[in-house]
């Protein structure tokens, strides 16, 4: 279904703006919905309260609840594959248009698609870190240990709903066994930024540098599939707007930046990005 004429006009303006401009992209959960991963704040998304860092470290019961749910969600999330939107961003990077891809997503689908100029702002759910000795390991290895320690858990909870941060809706997690770090026995945590944690400074500085390097007369910032509710992404939009850099937001539903001087496109990200790839190709001079 095509968007309304007014939105279509804005979408056409945004495509024309980006046809010849390099840009920095900021992606959110809305980019991964076409891969079967639900988003947090889309028009149909129910209210969700992800576990905070403070809650996670508050005691064994909270970690048992987290890992019992995450064990089920990960077994499904890891089967998700990049969608046409992820692949379109790789083509735009190959064409020299995408200077840096900043993603708020932890699903690893940008990496799987082949993106190279990438900053995973909140980390990757496929990595695990020990909070005691800082040893890093893979989620796949931990998944095997969780399955061995909790035989039959998957089968008993086969019908639960997967949530966007890789866990599921499950109330009763009693009896779930959570192994510790294989090196020191310490507390294991997915190597992602929880609510209540700060994004590592070097990641923030890298993203700020990329936004600060944008020339208002020649470059742009493109936001894809994000409501910008979380400050970790919204700050880059505010920074670009203050510098006079054109900002295009492609998202279904309202965003935190709707009152700022930005170009807003109410559209699905995958289809719109494929249109952008075609627009960029058409704007390239003949060899």
Which residues are catalytically annotated?
122
Task: Determine which helix (DSSP H) or strand (DSSP E) holds 11, and give its type and residue range.
Answer: helix 5-18
Other beta carbons within 10 angstroms of residue 141's beta carbon come to: 11
* 174: phi then psi, degrees, rounded to nearest 5: -65, 145
Quote the CA–CA distance of 107 and 252 in Å, as a whole number: 20
Q: Which of 105, 99, 58, 50 is nearest to 225 (CA)?
A: 105
- What 3-state class would DSSP assign to 32? coil
Strands 247-250 and 263-265 turn out to be parallel
DSSP 197-220: SPPPHHHHHHHHHHHHT--TTT-E
Contact 166, 107 (CB under 8 A): yes
DSSP 113-162: HT--SEEETTEEEEEEEETTT--EEEHHHHHHHHHHHSTTHHHHTTTPPB
Q: Which of 229, 231, 265 is nearest to 247 (CA)?
A: 265
* Six token digits for residue 210: 């990329």
Quote the CA–CA distance of 140 and 138 in Å, as a whole number: 5
């Amino acid at each position: 279904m095509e968007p309304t004429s007014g939105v279509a006009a804005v979408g056409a303006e945004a495509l024309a703006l980006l046809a010849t401009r390099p840009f920095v992209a900021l992606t959110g959960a809305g980019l991964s919905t076409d891969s079967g991963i639900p988003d947090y704040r889309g028009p149909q998304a129910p209210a969700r309260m992800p576990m905070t860092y403070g809650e996670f470290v508050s005691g064994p019961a909270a970690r048992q609840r987290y890992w019992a749910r995450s064990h089920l969600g990960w077994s499904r999330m890891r089967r998700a594959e990049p969608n046409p939107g992820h692949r379109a961003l790789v083509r735009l990077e190959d064409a020299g248009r995408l200077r840096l891809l900043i993603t708020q997503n932890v699903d690893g689908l940008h990496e799987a698609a082949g993106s190279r100029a990438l900053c995973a702002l909140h980390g990757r759910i496929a990595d695990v870190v020990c909070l005691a000795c800082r040893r890093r390991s893979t989620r796949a290895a931990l998944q095997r240990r969780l399955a061995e320690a909790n035989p039959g858990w998957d089968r008993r909870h086969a019908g639960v709903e997967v949530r966007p941060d890789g866990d599921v809706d499950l109330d009763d997690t009693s009896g779930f066994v959570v192994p510790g770090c294989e090196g020191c026995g310490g507390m294991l945590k997915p190597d992602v930024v929880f609510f209540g944690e700060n994004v590592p400074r070097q990641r923030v500085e890298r993203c700020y540098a990329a936004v600060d390097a944008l020339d208002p007369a020649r470059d742009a910032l493109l936001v894809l599939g994000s409501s910008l509710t979380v400050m970790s992404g919204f700050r880059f939009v505010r920074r670009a707007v203050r510098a006079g850099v054109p900002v295009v937001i492609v998202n279904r539903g309202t965003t935190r930046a709707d009152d700022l001087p930005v170009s807003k496109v109410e559209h699905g990200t995958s289809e719109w990005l494929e249109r952008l790839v075609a627009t960029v190709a058409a704007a390239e001079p003949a060899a």
